[in-house]
Amino acid sequence: MSVEANVVYGMVSGLALLLDIHHPDQPNGYGIIHISGSGWSAPLGPDARPLKESPHVQIEGLPLVEAGYTLFTINHRATPRFPYPAPVEDAQRAVRYIRYHAGKYGIDPDRIGAIGGSSGGHLVSMLGVLDGRGDPDDASPINRLSAKVQCVVARAAPGSFVMDRDGRGAPSMFLGAVVTPDTDPGSVEYRRALEASPIAHVTPGDPPFFFIHGDADDVVPIAQSEAMAEALRVVGVPVKYRPVPGSGHGPGLLADPELRAEVRAWFDEHLKGT
């Protein structure tokens, strides 16, 4: 296994968007984008650890590299400086960049997977449900490509910012707006929360989704994954939903070898098609 660090996948006003590429010893020809959870936020200090070097990479991503998948783990713009839609736009740009350079990285450009937890789970869910169509008239050939992925694994992921089942409102720092259960559905704030919600974009053409959620999660209620799984099932999308008894919010539940094997099997079946 080797790591190609600090690859620039885009620029925003002079700010470099970076990703690391984890190359397996025996590549299987398929790529997976990994987005660590961070609450869509990043420390303001210049010496802060990059998101792409989060411990989540070790837990959620590297077992897939050991299985032969080429892993792309990314930084994205984050709050408090960059609210929605910046993190979503960056995740989409990363997929387009990976797809454009697929030949260089030895992966199938039409079969790219995604895995992430918490806010990273939200972002990979958006990569699955958004249309992601490129702009054929864009000056950049990268931006002309699709940003949609073909298989998703989402751990403890928020699926809706307007579905309130636990008395809490939406994450105002991420949305750049305060949204509560009493927010007017006709307001700009409510429409923004809906637009940022994966559940609002579900269609029959979405890729297979595997949801993993601890039933003791006190950060993102397990009802979020249940609702997303049901919305996808209704339109005929292949879905697996795995509640983990007694587990909380963090990525540690994926330290379980059995659950890791389930994640690998999901990508093997629905990304590789084996």
Residue-wise burial string across 30-61, b where 16 or more C-beta atoms lie within 10 A, e elsewhere: bbbbbbbbbebbbeeeeeeebbbebebbebbb
At 108, the amino acid letter reads D
Task: Kindly state which CATH superfamily the domain 2-160+197-272 is placed in.
Answer: Alpha/Beta hydrolase fold, catalytic domain (3.40.50.1820)
Residue 186 has pLDDT above 80, yes or no: yes
For 193-246, write each residue's pLDDT tens digit: 999 999 999 999 999 999 999 999 999 999 999 999 999 999 999 999 999 999
Residue 166 has pLDDT above 60, yes or no: no
For 92-115, write each residue's pLDDT tens digit: 999 999 999 999 999 999 999 999
pLDDT score, position 182: 83
User: What is the C-alpha separation between 28 and 186, in angstroms, rounded?
Assistant: 48
Closest by CA to 30, choosing from 128, 148, 109, is: 109
pLDDT score, position 66: 97
Q: Are 240 and 231 a contacting pair, CB within 8 Å? A: no
Average pLDDT, the chain: 95
pLDDT score, position 274: 67
Cα–Cα distances (Å) from 194 to 39, 154, 162, 266, in that order, read: 18, 19, 6, 29
Give residue limits of the domains in the chain.
Answer: 2-160+197-272
Judge residue 167's burial from the number of C-beta atoms within 10 Å of its C-beta, 0-12 exposed, 13-18 middle, 19 or more buried. exposed
Q: What is the pTM of this model?
A: 0.97
State percent of the chain over pLDDT 70. Answer: 97
pLDDT score, position 168: 54
For 6-59, write each residue's pLDDT tens digit: 999 999 999 999 999 999 999 999 999 999 999 999 999 999 999 999 999 999
User: What is the C-alpha separation between 19 and 73, in angstroms, rounded?
Assistant: 6
For 173-185, write each residue's pLDDT tens digit: 999 998 888 889 9
pLDDT score, position 165: 45
pLDDT score, position 164: 58
pLDDT score, position 273: 86
208: DSSP letter? P
pLDDT score, position 169: 58
Residue 171 has pLDDT above 90, yes or no: no
